[in-house]
Amino acid sequence: MLKIFKSFGGYTEISKAEKGCWINAVNPSKAEVERLKEEFRIPADIIQDILDTDERPRYEVDEDWSLIILRIPVDNPNNGVPYYTLPLGIFLSKEVTITICSRSNEVLPLEKPMLYRGQSLLVHDDLNFVIKLFLRSGTAYLRYLKQINQQTTQIENELEKSVRNRELNKLLKMEKCLVFFITSLKANEIVLARLRNGLKRSMTELNEDLLEDAIIENKQALEMSQIYSDIQSGMMDAFASVISNNLNVVMKQLASISIILMIPTLIASLYGMNVPNHLEGNAYAFPIILMGSILLALLGIIIFWKKNLF
């Protein structure tokens, strides 16, 4: 879908592009891609790069345009990995500013893409717009990291009593999310550093302060991702041992039960043989053997209980 807005605030939607407008393209169709190429003169390879989910963040400058690609976090409820990252491209020209993303996201939602509700005047220029996208991206990373931490805590509680690998696989998927986040945040950090070094002379004081905030936000998200990743790496090793130990406990209990059940089975086997056993003529032979089996089994249970084998 392709929407054209009169300003960076994303409030007033217009039908045709005009100078200074903002165009937001989310999961564009083939016709919309062709329109971006022909009407707005975006090179085809740039559109293809932005729509590639594996594209790395970068900052390019040409005579008539500049391009900034950052990676943003998105949720993925329909897949095994709950969160991952994808590229968001910002194409800046003298006439228009165009953002392109392969799917709807929280940084630039499809329905309400405005950066600040009720405060459209706070978006001063295209650079200010770009920096605030980095800020929103950093905030989204931090929010998703908190959700990952909460889900990890829930998985930990399940793992303490688990003897299966299902919970461990969930933890592995969380670790995969953190790897995606760390890789993307490191690449975003390089782009932010290039922006600061390349535009420092022409940058206003407001944009300079905002850029520092974006760098700090990105760095904080990166450090949190690395901390959570280190914790989960050690936790996975620990819980793998916990699962193995829980399985050993179950096997020990099953072995103890098998030994207890062997006592009456052995007695029944001995007195069930077709040989003289000194009780074949006794009318109370069966109750005697039955009571003896029960007493010996209870004695075995008491011994095993004292040795903590149950």
pLDDT exceeds cutoff 50 at 171: yes
- Measured in degrees and rounded to the nearest 5, phi and psi for residue 42 equal -90, 125
- 18-76 residue pLDDT tens: 888 888 898 888 999 998 888 888 888 989 999 998 899 999 888 888 899 999 999 88
Q: Give yes or no for residue 163 having a pLDDT over 70.
A: no
Whether the Cβ atoms of residue 106 and residue 140 lie closer than 8 Å to each other? yes
The pLDDT, as a whole number, for residue 244 is 75
pLDDT tens track for 255-296: 888 888 888 888 888 887 877 777 777 788 888 888 888 898
Distance of CA 126 to the CA centre of its chain: 31
Q: Express each pLDDT in 97-133 by its tens digit.
A: 899 998 888 888 766 655 554 444 456 678 888 888 8
Quick check: 55 and 69 in contact, CB under 8 A?
Answer: yes
For residue 140, the number of C-alpha atoms closer than 13 Å in the C-beta half-sphere is 23
Cα(204)–Cα(188) distance, integer angstroms = 22
User: In whole angstroms, how far apart are CA 178 and each of 137, 227, 298?
Assistant: 15, 10, 53
Question: pLDDT tens digits, residue range 128-151?
Answer: 888 888 998 999 999 999 998 888
Second-level CATH architecture of 1-108: 2-Layer Sandwich (3.30)
pLDDT more than 90, % of the chain:
21
What pLDDT is attached to residue 225?
Answer: 92
Minimum mean pLDDT range among 59-63, 122-126, 172-176, 191-195:
122-126
Q: How far is CA 26 from CA 73, 126, 134, 232, 307, in A?
A: 15, 19, 18, 34, 66
- Residue-range domain boundaries for the chain: 1-108, 247-306
pLDDT tens digits, residue range 238-255? Answer: 776 776 777 787 888 888
The closest of 245, 267, 263 to 303, measured between CA atoms, is 263
Lowest mean pLDDT among 203-217, 221-235, 239-253, 260-274: 239-253
What's the pLDDT score for residue 121? Answer: 45
Alpha carbon of 209 to those of 4, 39, 80: distances in Å? 29, 35, 39
What gap in Å lies between CA 6 and CA 116, rounded to an integer? 15
Give the mean pLDDT of the chain. Answer: 83
